[in-house]
């Protein structure tokens, strides 16, 4: 049998039998086209209703999968992607915004060749002749361009929203630098993140959804907190600190801040977008160095209040000495010296002449006379506080402004009064003159669990005698006292320790003081007109500022 060639228009032998009719050629072409169109219509309807992802997940045949992606390529590569951003609360008067992404910007491409090759290799097979593939593997995008667009859109969204914030504004007014806290109350509005926009676009491309909608909640600005703002912008003051080893005080450091109560009152009434300016003012520490120092000296360990005579020059001297001593701090173990603290009593310092006991026991005027009373008042207080006496001399004659045997004589360059702070805490001396008395306070921290009672005993009394002196110049009338008398004494001073109930625990002798007698000299007329030289009793001895 000969083989023939296929020629156009020629029917092969046996191709047509009696009674048969040949199907038209156009039907062979039209049927597949209709099937593809129907499938595309079904896929398009599903995609339009947001079911492309479900269709992909459930799986399709290889041909249906290819047809679906061919349709997706046509949709994505030829049409704009339009994302609508709107608030999910319809009552919010915030208009939606649309974001249009043309294919030229997204550079979207569907890799149909790669998909077909993968399907031929069985990639994505989920069942018998059914396939489910991930669109992310075959749809490529310019992600950087989409992210930039999302970030730009976020900025547009934030135009209607303002977060609450505060900033520090420092500027100069004249020579002064002024610090103000500017507090801005935010306003509510739409605020969607760039990341959310970016993810919504990606999802829409992978679903071939050309009109996606991204809903978001309207954002309220965070409420401002006055306490938090104070902590962020203000500097709290630093308290002074006492070093309990050497009792030095680290100075306090002032801070600065705004009136927190003022801001707390303003915030609840603030309208959106309101700005307040709060002046930052210095804030003092609660425990300043002065407060810490005062706490060291808040207890009165002992005090003395001695009456003084109303002689103006003497009173001036008392005040000057007290001013020099007032506020003196004596640290534990330190020795207080009256002469070192007060210094030499000179006219340049304002001291005046007042009576002192001079050589031979005479009462003579001298600069600084009377300041022995200040030293004696301190000594009397020190005895009550039970502190250690280092140096003390009694007066030449007994004084009356302190109890007997409890005085202290001083004289520049010769006699000094000294005591040691034998307590474990610093001691401050407060001294002044008022209301006819010298006032001495020893301030500090009480360390004793007992009290001290002072007493004295007169061991010997030497009465003075009266003598007469003839006066020829008329300066004294007969019977006038020329020299005032003093009785001599030998006196012992005692310290008695009392317990909390006032019972005597022990008694010890503090000192024994001897006071000279001084005879009284009275003026008398001479027995005869013959003048005679006056005789004044003298005896050796130093002077004192008593």
Tell the burial category of 268 from Cβ atoms under 10 Å away from its Cβ (0-12, 13-18, 19+): exposed
378 is written with which tokens?
């301190």
Interacting residues of 5 by C-beta distance below 8 A, sequence separation 6+ = none
374/370 Cα distance (integer angstroms)? 8
State the pLDDT at residue 213. Answer: 93
Count of C-beta atoms within a 10 Å radius of residue 37: 11
Q: Is 381 exposed, middle or buried (0-12, 13-18, 19+ CB in 10 A)?
A: buried
Return the beta strands (E) in 35-157 as ranges: 81-87, 97-101, 109-110, 125-127, 130-131, 139-140
E strand intervals along 472-545: 481-483, 488-498, 504-515, 520-524
340, two tokens:
């070192």
Whether the predicted model's global pTM rises above the 0.75 cut: no
Per residue in 504-517, pLDDT (tens digit) is 999 999 999 999 99
- Contact between 181 and 166 under an 8 Å Cβ cutoff? The reply is yes
**Separation of CA 205 from chain center:** 56
Residues 6+ apart with CB under 8 A from 522: 466, 467, 468, 469, 479, 480, 481, 482
DSSP 44: H
Distance from C-alpha of 446 to C-alpha of 150, rounded to nearest angstrom = 75
CB contact set of 259 (below 8 Å; sequence gap of 6+): 278, 281
| Cβ atoms within 10 Å, residue 120 | 9
518 pLDDT band, cuts 50/70/90, is very high
State the DSSP code for 187.
Answer: B
CA pair distance 431, 320, nearest whole angstrom: 10
pLDDT, residue 141, reads 96
β-strands 213-216, 81-87 pairing: parallel
Q: How much is the average pLDDT of 116-129? A: 89
pLDDT band at 375 (very low <50, low <70, confident <90, very high): very high
User: Helix or strand or coil: residue 225?
Assistant: coil
CB 109 within 8 A of CB 140: yes
Q: How many percent of the chain have pLDDT more than 70?
A: 84
Mean pLDDT of 49-77: 80
Residues 242-269, mean pLDDT to the nearest whole number: 88
Residue entry with tokens 């912008």: 233
Please report the pLDDT score of residue 54 as a whole number.
56
Instruction: Check whether 311 has a pLDDT greater than 70.
Output: yes
- Name the burial class of residue 310, with classes exposed (0-12), middle (13-18) and buried (19+) by CB atoms within 10 angstroms of its CB: exposed
Of 47-51, 114-118, 310-314, the one with minimum mean pLDDT is: 47-51
Exposed, middle or buried by CB within 10 Å (0-12, 13-18, 19+), for 89?
exposed
Residues 6+ apart with CB under 8 A from 337: 416, 417, 418
Per-residue model confidence (pLDDT) at position 172? 79
Of 4-18, 109-123, 322-336, where does mean pLDDT reach its minimum? Answer: 4-18
Identify the residue with better confidence: 223 or 423: 423
Do residues 194 and 202 make contact, with C-beta atoms less than 8 angstroms apart?
no
For the ranges 254-258, 469-473, 531-535, 537-541, the lowest mean pLDDT is seen at 537-541
Give the Cα separation of 25 and 12 in Å (integer).
16
Choice among 11-25, 29-43, 325-339, 521-535 with the minimum mean pLDDT: 11-25
Cα-based torsion angle of the residue sequence 87, 89, 90, 91 in order, rounded to the nearest 10 degrees: -120
Band of pLDDT at residue 186, cut at 50, 70 and 90: confident
Structure tokens at 197: 């926009």
Length in residues, the chain: 546
- Residue 59 vs residues 63, 135, 229: alpha-carbon distances, Å: 11, 13, 58
- Which band of pLDDT confidence, cut at 50, 70 and 90, is reported for residue 529? low
Higher pLDDT: 426 or 37? It is: 426
**β-pairing verdict for 241-242 and 109-110:** unpaired
**Per 3-state DSSP, what percentage of the chain is helix, strand, and coil (rounded to 5)?**
30, 30, 40
Cβ proximity of 463 and 494 under 8 Å: no
**pLDDT band for position 21 (cuts 50, 70, 90):** very low
Interacting residues of 118 by C-beta distance below 8 A, sequence separation 6+: 124, 133, 137
Q: What pLDDT sits at residue 56?
A: 59
Partners of 498 in beta bridges: 451, 504
Question: Looking at 245-254, 386-395, 527-536, which range is the least confident one?
Answer: 527-536
> For residue 51, which of 35, 34, 68 has the smallest C-alpha distance?
68
Query: How high is the mean pLDDT of the chain?
Result: 85
Lowest mean pLDDT among 46-60, 212-226, 243-257: 46-60
Distance of CA 374 to the CA centre of its chain: 44
The tokens 């001013």 sit on which residue?
323
Instruction: Select from 259, 277, 264, 284 the least CA-distant residue to 170.
Output: 277
d(CA 51, CA 67): 16
Please check whether residue 318 is in contact with residue 373, taking contact to mean a CB–CB distance below 8 angstroms: yes
């Amino acid at each position: 049998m000969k083989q023939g060639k296929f020629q156009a228009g020629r029917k092969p032998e046996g191709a047509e039998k009696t009674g048969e009719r040949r199907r038209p050629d156009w039907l062979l072409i039209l049927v597949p086209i209709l099937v593809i169109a129907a499938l595309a219509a079904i896929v398009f309807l599903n995609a339009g209703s947001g079911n492309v992802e479900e269709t992909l997940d459930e799986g399709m045949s290889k041909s249906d999968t290819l047809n679906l992606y061919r349709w997706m390529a046509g949709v994505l590569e030829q049409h704009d992607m339009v994302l609508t951003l709107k608030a999910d609360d319809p009552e919010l008067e915030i208009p939606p915004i649309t974001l249009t992404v043309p294919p030229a910007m997204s550079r979207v491409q569907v890799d149909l060749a790669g998909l077909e090759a993968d399907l031929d290799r069985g990639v994505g097979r989920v069942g018998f002749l059914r396939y489910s593939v991930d669109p992310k593997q075959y749809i490529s995008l310019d992600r950087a361009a989409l992210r930039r667009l999302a970030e730009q859109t976020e900025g547009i969204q934030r135009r209607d929203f303002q977060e609450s914030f505060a900033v520090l504004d420092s500027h100069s007014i004249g020579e002064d630098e002024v610090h103000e806290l500017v507090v801005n109350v935010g306003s509510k509005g739409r605020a969607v993140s760039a990341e959310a926009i970016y993810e919504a676009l990606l999802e829409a491309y992978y679903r071939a959804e050309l009109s996606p909608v991204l809903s978001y909640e309207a954002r309220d600005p965070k409420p401002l907190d006055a306490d938090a703002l104070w902590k962020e912008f203000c500097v709290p003051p630093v308290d002074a600190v006492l070093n309990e080893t050497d009792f030095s005080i680290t100075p306090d450091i002032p801070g600065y801040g705004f009136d927190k109560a003022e801001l707390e009152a303003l915030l609840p009434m603030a309208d959106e977008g309101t700005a307040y300016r709060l002046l930052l003012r210095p804030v003092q520490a609660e425990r300043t160095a002065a407060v810490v120092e005062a706490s060291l000296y808040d207890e009165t360990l002992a005090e003395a209040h001695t009456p003084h005579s109303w002689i103006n020059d003497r009173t001036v001297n008392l005040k000057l000495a007290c001013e020099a001593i007032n506020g003196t701090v004596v640290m534990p173990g330190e020795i207080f010296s009256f002469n070192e603290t007060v210094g030499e009593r000179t006219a340049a310092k304002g001291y005046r002449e007042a009576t002192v006991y001079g050589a031979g026991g005479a009462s003579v005027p001298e600069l600084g006379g009377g300041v022995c009373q200040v030293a004696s008042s301190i000594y009397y207080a020190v005895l009550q506080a039970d502190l250690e006496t280092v140096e003390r001399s009694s007066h030449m004659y007994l004084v009356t402004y302190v109890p007997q045997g409890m005085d202290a004589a001083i004289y520049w360059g010769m006699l000094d009064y000294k005591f040691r702070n034998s307590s474990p805490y610093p001691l401050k001396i407060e001294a002044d003159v008022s209301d006819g008395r010298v006032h001495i306070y020893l301030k500090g921290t009480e360390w004793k669990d007992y009290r001290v009672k002072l007493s004295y005993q007169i061991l010997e009394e030497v009465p003075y005698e009266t003598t007469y002196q003839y006066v020829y110049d008329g300066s004294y009338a007969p019977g006038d006292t020329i020299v005032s008398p003093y009785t001599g004494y030998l006196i012992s001073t005692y310290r008695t320790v009392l317990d909390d109930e006032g019972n005597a625990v022990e008694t010890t002798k503090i000192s024994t003081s001897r006071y000279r007698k001084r005879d009284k000299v009275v003026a008398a007329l001479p027995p005869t007109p013959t003048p005679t030289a006056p005789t004044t009793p003298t005896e050796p001895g130093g002077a004192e500022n008593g």
